[in-house]
Amino acid sequence: MQAGKIRIGTRGSPLALAQARQVAARLATAHGLSAEQCELVVIKTTGDKVTDRPLIEAGGKGLFTKELEEALFARAIDLAVHSMKDMPAQLPEGLTISAILEREDPRDAFVSLKYSSLETMPRGAVIGTSSPRRQAQALRARPDLLVVGFRGNVETRLRKLEEGVADATFLACAGLYRLGLAKHITQKMPTSVMLPAVAQGAIGIEIRADDVETAGLLAPLNDANTATCIAAERAYLAQLEGSCRTPIAGLAELRDGNVYLRAEILSTNGTHAQALAGTASAADAVQLGERVAAQILERAGPDFFATA
């Protein structure tokens, strides 16, 4: 850190900026710092530049994190603010997630100007989404619907909806809340129909693993309950990410002091799905994630991946 200044690395999208400003404000409050002492450093990532094709084709998740991580290594920033949902399960050697903020609503929002819910859409209506998970879950519930690609940031997707490119879309409730756009939520999707992406709704702060000074500053921002749930979900993701190219969903919650993890993998067209749940004490969150992953892979069997 330089002369009492904290440099906060963030992507430039409105959602990323809202999240980074939230972290800056929390840091300022926790340590009595001025706004100038918490400087935002905006970094463009490959994921922000690629808008013409599905991100899976361009290289997947790491696309939103790589340039921020390079800036951490180069000491151009002291911390990087991420949507934990966009973080690969495996972090580069030398970096660590130092704090996870209290989770916002992890559910997906059904957003439509025409229909009040997924169930009441007429046959053949069009869903706009480029998320293989949301596509798979929507088609699982409603195989008669059509899906078209829908890339871009939250505002772009809402505009496409207004232009009539699709009859409905899905967006994370968390992002809509943080952008002050919660009025667009038509239906909060029950997790029984649409289990969220791993870590959806959670903001994580990444630092250099040897940076004890920044780690100390971030300690008061960490929410232990959220961190436990994210540990279970990401341990599950880590086991699946390598071996499973199909859509993955997972949500951990605390129930009576224990971690309760629900997991789901699907074929992209929604015709095949495997779902599973497990529970463990909070201290065993990581083992729970690993166990649930092993169980779901075993239950799916090689046939699932051959046909999915």
The one catalytic residue in 48, 52, 78, 86 is 86
Shortest distance in whole angstroms from residue 170 CB to ligand PBG: 7
- Identity of the residue, 170 or 304, whose beta carbon is nearer to ligand PBG in the bound complex: 170
Task: Please report, to the nearest 10 degrees, the dihedral formed by the alpha carbons of residues 171, 174, 175, 178 taken in order.
Answer: 150
Q: Give whole-number Cα distances, 125 to 13, 37, 42, 118, in Å.
A: 30, 50, 39, 10
Nearest to 80 by CA among 161, 8, 12: 8
Shortest distance in whole angstroms from residue 65 CB to ligand PBG: 11
Cβ atoms of 177 and 102 within 8 Å: the answer is no
Quick one: which of 9, 128, 132, 201 contacts ligand PBG (CB under 6 A)? Answer: 201
Relative to beta strand 248-255, strand 258-266 is antiparallel
Quick one: which of 26, 85, 208, 291 contacts ligand PBG (CB under 6 A)? Answer: 85
Shortest distance in whole angstroms from residue 181 CB to ligand PBG: 10
User: CB neighbours (10 Å) of residue 54?
Assistant: 13
Quick one: which of 10, 200, 267, 274 contacts ligand PBG (CB under 6 A)? Answer: 200
Q: Is 205 in the site for ligand PBG (CB under 6 A)?
A: no
Is 86 among the catalytic positions? yes
- Identity of the residue, 97 or 280, whose beta carbon is nearer to ligand PBG in the bound complex: 97
Cα Rg, the chain, nearest whole Å: 19
Residues 23-62 interacting with ligand PBG (rule: CB under 6 A):
none
Quick one: which of 9, 175, 250, 270 contacts ligand PBG (CB under 6 A)? Answer: 175
Cβ atoms of 26 and 99 within 8 Å: the answer is no
Q: Which residues contact 7 (CB under 8 A, 6 or more apart)?
A: 1, 39, 41, 76, 77, 78, 79
Quick one: which of 23, 127, 172, 194 contacts ligand PBG (CB under 6 A)? Answer: 172
Q: Is 174 in the site for ligand PBG (CB under 6 A)?
A: yes
- Identity of the residue, 206 or 211, whose beta carbon is nearer to ligand PBG in the bound complex: 206
Q: Which residues contact 302 (CB under 8 A, 6 or more apart)?
A: none
Alpha carbon 109 to chain centroid, angstroms: 14
Quick one: which of 86, 167, 211, 264 contacts ligand PBG (CB under 6 A)? Answer: 86
- Identity of the residue, 69 or 86, whose beta carbon is nearer to ligand PBG in the bound complex: 86
Shortest distance in whole angstroms from residue 172 CB to ligand PBG: 4
* Segment contacting ligand PBG by CB under 6 A, of 169-177, 218-226, 227-235, 274-282: 169-177
* Segment contacting ligand PBG by CB under 6 A, of 29-37, 78-86, 137-145, 181-189: 78-86
259 DSSP assignment: E
Q: What residues pair up with 263 in beta bridges, in sequence order?
A: 250, 276
Nearest to 15 by CA among 198, 184, 152, 176: 176
Known catalytic residues are 86
Binding site for ligand PBG (CB under 6 A): 83, 85-86, 154, 171-172, 174-175, 200-201
